[in-house]
Structure 1
Amino acid sequence: MTGQPVRADQEPVTTNGTLALVNLSAQIDGMAAPVGRAGSTAPLAVAQQAVLVDLLTLRGHLLGRVADYERAARLSERNAPDDSAALLARARTRATLHRFAEAMADLDGAGRAGAEQAALDAERASILQAVGGHAEAHALLRSTAPHPSDFTMLSALAVFQAERRETAEAEHLFEEARAAHRGVSPFPLAQLDFRRGVMWLREGDLPTARSWFDAARRRVPGYAPATGHLAEVDLLLGDPETAVARLRPLMETSDDPEYPAHLALALRAVGRHQEARPWRDRAAERYEDLVARHPEAYADHAADFWLMVGGDVDRGLQLALQTLVMRQTSRSYALVRRAREASRGLAHDASGPRHPATSM
């Protein structure tokens, strides 16, 4: 049985999502340029720098800003810190850009610097899950739980079960996590609802997926991934005009090529091919740039783009194989299979059926 969002009067009360985003950016701006007594820019203390790195990473996710991820990574790489909080922050930025081996090394360093074991194990579990180490990730998640009603632990376990397609157990954990939330920030709940929507999208339950993406976006109206996935559901349900309307605002606030790629796809679906072309080209240029700088994080997304929107199956297969070399996960293998099937289909179409009169 699929889970539906609770009624508005049963929703946890949090800060207004739009205001929270404004405050997040103000906090980042205030920390990024502290002013000393003489009016010069004062260097951030190590602890402040670690906080700023995490805030930039959070905003990068919420608004779909790769530039924030890169800025966080540059800031975290500025020194070789011995501080546990700084090492944890750097591990998270490296994991965000899928530099998993380096992230694990940072976690080891953070452990030697005195970081709490629960925090280290939670980060390690996330990385292990990303690279296909599900059994190890599950064991770590269970061991890190400070108590059975902890929101962070329950959320992580819910996402873990969702990734394993254990939807009944995941639904139970998603509900428990929502009930355990005690803060006023809207971001954790929005992210939780978004991941719940991703689970149902993967399962093909489009109405339930849409309801959870809607719930995430109602809580944080500027939440780019939720908006992008809502547009994806619109396309799948045969409503490309709504998808176009949802995606257009993201062209101004996000630099993630996924959104112009989906806009090009939606515009094609309504027959506006000429209008779609610049967005396809923008996505192609951006993906090539990101693959050159961050292949671990973007090769798979770029492969999917070239197979679906970009119209270059050979490039898609090349990037899919590159992804498989970096990560031998079930998703990487599935991407390679899809790319090879597309390549074989293209070869078949190119050869075409021979005319009976010339087939001797």
Structure 2
Amino acid sequence: MRIRPLAVDALVATALTSVALLLGPEAARQGQNPLDAAAYALVVLAHLPLVLRSRVPLLVWCLVHATWLVYIALGYWPVVCSFGPLLAVYTVASLRPGALSVPCAALMGGVWIYAGVVNHTDSWPSVLGQAVVYPAVLWRFGVVARRSAELTRQLRREQAERARREVAEERSRIARELHDVVAHHMSVISVHVGLARFVFDTDRRTARGALDTIDATGKEALDELRRMLMVLRADDDGAPAGPMPGLARLDEMAERVSAGGVPVALSVEGTPRPIAPGVELCAYRIVQEALTNVLKHAPGAHAEVRLSYEPHQVTVSVTDDGEGAIPDRARTDGGHGLLGMRERAKLYGGQISIGPQDQGGFAVRLTLPTAATTLPPSPGHRLCG
């Protein structure tokens, strides 16, 4: 439960007033004029404004010191009524800039010296020392408190801004994942729906094969979407969501795209090895997006996917010999396709080139840095389709 600042200030003011009233009888024992009803009334008046010290610190300082001056001018022991002024100086220093707090601290020192004059003190070194040390120490504590509060507010602003950036980045990441999953699988399904409709009455076997591919592709899309949702909902006690697709599943992707009418040749060079899951997913998604673009914009073309494991990096390229819709495939203005490829590559410190080839067709080439850990070799070349 959070206590309101006004309630805290009220408690502080009540506590200081109580201490001052309990100290009142000590004046006579110190050889000072005993406090009468008027003195006690001034003591209360000098501390009551402290209830509003956080809201109007300068006004409270003025009221407290004015009451203290009247109290001193009437010849009463200054110490009894000094708690309010001391706290008022600290409050001004903690809430207002030095241009206002320094004069307030200096004026309090002047009032302290005036009290020594009125009481005809014989201990001027002590009075002068208190007039300098008390305001200076309280002012310093107040300045430290103000700077700490400013740093706390700045830290909160930075944390809020960081949280907003992280939310925006996470939304962008989710949008890319959804685009990659939905666009690829829906493109494959759309191609096979058209094929099944075209041959449904003349070639039932081909139509059945297309429907089987649609069924398998739809299930795979649902599995990936379900996996993404499990990752988003997962907590420390939740069940693992399972691995995201990686380079080991490129052959499945190649078969699926080949069944959609775009023969895909997949070749693997070098010794496959485990790499960071994020890097592997990045390469998988870029290959997926590139093949999806071939399905959309260059139907009937032949595509080639080359995956190369090198000592400190992995390189993957997707090329095709299609001729159609090159301008559409090169667009990056606001979509999640080719722009998403570049964002993924940049996120993992990779380099990517996207564009038409001189001899015709389109090419996507990606290089990602990796750790050099080896695994047993796998087949070096495969032709799907």
Higher Cα radius of gyration:
2
Q: If each structure's strand is expressed as a fraction of its own residues, which one has the higher value?
A: 2
User: What TM-score, normalized to structure 2?
Assistant: 0.24
